[in-house]
């Protein structure tokens, strides 16, 4: 594998003006507006990774037979760059995203990218578009590395023989509109996200394509988000649309164990460490929807929250399924959820000490 890639840099002659950028940054939404540049690196069989470049953000031209359009051989990552109090910019655990990118790549029969090249590609894009990193509280620059199969061929006897890796970036406000309001969730017993041996642990687009119908059903049922259950009994809680889940029993936190069918969230992993340091016990386990309901009804299960890069830490306020519905706690954000959120956000935005060296300075 090539480990020393040299990026060719082509700056955007039509980069937006400071005034245009400020207008976007005043209300960035999530994943709607992109910065002035993007990074790409190509891979071909025999040659490996080559043609690394930073160039103006813009459309791709691809043959209609390109294999990603037909067989969805694709994967992506998601992480954020945060503005620090002194104006510098950092990323949160980018090497953890690099490692997950490569685990997804192995599952999708795609080439691994050296972790250094992954992190270097993020650094180059963020340094170039640094003025796009918001300064407003709680805002950040969302980074979206991804890889697509680019061979124009319809055969399915072997994976694509060429790939394109890219990174794009988008200023982001809160993922959920309306601030830190607890979300309502729909238990999906009709659809399955992932089964053993499948792609649940990989961050591949197909997992999300198959999830839209259930997310739409959740909204039709009056809920914000879908909760995925296991494939066999539709009873054991796995995760949410784009987030992992934590269950709070007083000062004991439980999150579904990584069985291969759920995404190993980097936020989840960070919270497992932080919770222990904040004086809670934090463990990976198994939780059924019956235990979830009974725990809330008895008062033993005091809080539930979701976590992820986009969603940060978001309380779950109510639960609905085909034949049941209940409230978590009193339906408002609980103290454990808020304490964990403040600690995590404090590390990311540089107001709390970074004991784990999770913060990676970019510029
Ligand atoms: N689960 C799913 C399905 C996701 O898409 C995400 C988001 O990336 C997560 C969990 C949380 O992962 P992370 O904390 O690494 O963002
Ligand atoms: C993320 O949190 O990075 C995600 O990927 C969630 C969603 C936008 C897919």
Which CATH number does the domain housing residue 66 bear?
A: 3.30.470.10
Q: What is the mean pLDDT of residues 37-63?
A: 98
Same domain as 306, residue 224: yes
Asked whether residue 229 is assigned to any structural domain, the reply reads yes
Asked whether residue 145 is assigned to any structural domain, the reply reads yes
Does ligand 1 have an atom closer than 6 angstroms to the CB of 244?
A: yes
Query: Residue of the nearest CA to atom 10 in ligand 1?
Result: 243
Same domain as 212, residue 307: yes
Asked whether residue 360 is assigned to any structural domain, the reply reads no
Q: Quote the pTM value.
A: 0.97
Nearest ligand, CA 241: 1
Same domain as 196, residue 54: no
Rounded CA separation 227/233 (Å): 14
The answer on pLDDT for 41 being more than 80 is: yes
The answer on pLDDT for 2 being more than 50 is: no
Same domain as 193, residue 128: no
The answer on pLDDT for 127 being more than 50 is: yes
CB 129 within 8 Å of CB 35? yes
Asked whether residue 303 is assigned to any structural domain, the reply reads yes
Q: What is the mean pLDDT of residues 135-142?
A: 95
pLDDT (tens digit per residue) in 151-170: 999 999 999 999 999 999 99
Nearest ligand, CA 246: 1
pLDDT classification of 180: cutoffs 50, 70, 90: confident
Q: List the beta strands (DSSP E) in 110-218.
A: 140-149, 162-172, 183-188
Q: What is the mean pLDDT of residues 226-248?
A: 97
What is the per-residue pLDDT for 346? 96
Closest ligand 1 atom to residue 78 Cα is 8
Asked whether residue 363 is assigned to any structural domain, the reply reads no
Same domain as 37, residue 59: yes
List all residues 6 or more positions away from 59 whose beta carbon is below 8 Å from its beta carbon.
none
What is the per-residue pLDDT for 349? 96
Q: Environment class of residue 309 by beta-carbon count within 10 Å: exposed (0-12), middle (13-18) or buried (19+)?
A: buried
Number of domains in the chain: 2
Query: Residue of the nearest CA to atom 4 in ligand 1?
Result: 242
Same domain as 285, residue 345: yes
What is the per-residue pLDDT for 3? 56
Rounded CA separation 139/294 (Å): 37
Tokens matching residue 223:
């809920």
CB 189 within 8 Å of CB 320? no
Asked whether residue 3 is assigned to any structural domain, the reply reads no
Domain C-terminal end among 121, 152, 172: 172
Question: Residue 228 belongs to what domain range?
Answer: 183-349
The answer on pLDDT for 26 being more than 60 is: yes
Query: What is the share, in percent, of the chain residues with pLDDT greater than 90?
Result: 94
What is the per-residue pLDDT for 154? 97
Same domain as 192, residue 160: no
Same domain as 214, residue 165: no
């Amino acid at each position: 594998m090539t480990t020393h890639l040299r990026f060719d840099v082509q700056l955007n002659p039509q980069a937006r003006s400071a005034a245009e950028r400020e207008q976007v940054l005043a209300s960035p939404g999530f994943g709607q507006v992109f910065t002035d540049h993007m990074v790409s690196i190509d891979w071909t069989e025999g040659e490996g990774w080559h043609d690394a470049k930073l160039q103006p953000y813009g459309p791709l031209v691809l043959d209609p037979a390109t294999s990603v359009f037909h067989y969805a051989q694709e994967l992506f990552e998601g992480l954020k760059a945060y503005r620090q109090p002194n104006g510098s910019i950092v990323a949160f655990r980018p090497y953890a995203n690099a490692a997950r990118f490569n685990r997804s790549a192995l599952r999708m029969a795609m080439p691994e990218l050296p972790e250094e090249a992954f992190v270097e590609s993020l650094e180059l894009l963020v340094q170039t578009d640094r003025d796009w990193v918001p300064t407003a509280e709680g805002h950040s620059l969302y980074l979206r590395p991804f890889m697509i199969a680019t061979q124009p061929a319809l055969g399915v006897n072997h994976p694509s023989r060429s790939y394109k890796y890219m990174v794009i970036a988008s200023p982001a406000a809160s993922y959920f509109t309306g601030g830190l309001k607890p979300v309502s969730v729909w238990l999906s017993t009709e659809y399955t996200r992932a089964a053993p041996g499948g792609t649940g642990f990989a961050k591949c687009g197909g997992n999300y394509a198959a999830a839209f119908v259930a997310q739409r059903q959740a909204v039709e049922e009056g809920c914000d988000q879908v909760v995925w259950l296991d494939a066999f009994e539709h009873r054991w809680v796995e995760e949410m649309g784009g987030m992992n889940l934590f269950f709070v029993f007083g000062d004991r936190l439980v999150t579904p164990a990584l069985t291969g069918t759920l995404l190993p969230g980097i936020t989840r992993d960070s919270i497992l460490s932080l919770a222990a340091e904040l004086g809670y016990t934090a463990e990976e386990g198994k939780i059924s929807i019956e235990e979830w309901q009974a725990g809330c009804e008895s008062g033993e299960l005091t809080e539930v929250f979701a976590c992820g890069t986009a969603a940060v830490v978001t309380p779950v306020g109510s639960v609905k399924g085909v034949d049941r519905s209940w409230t978590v706690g009193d339906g408002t954000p609980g103290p454990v959820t808020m304490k964990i959120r403040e600690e995590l956000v404090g590390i990311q935005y540089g107001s709390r000490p970074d004991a784990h060296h999770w913060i990676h300075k970019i510029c």
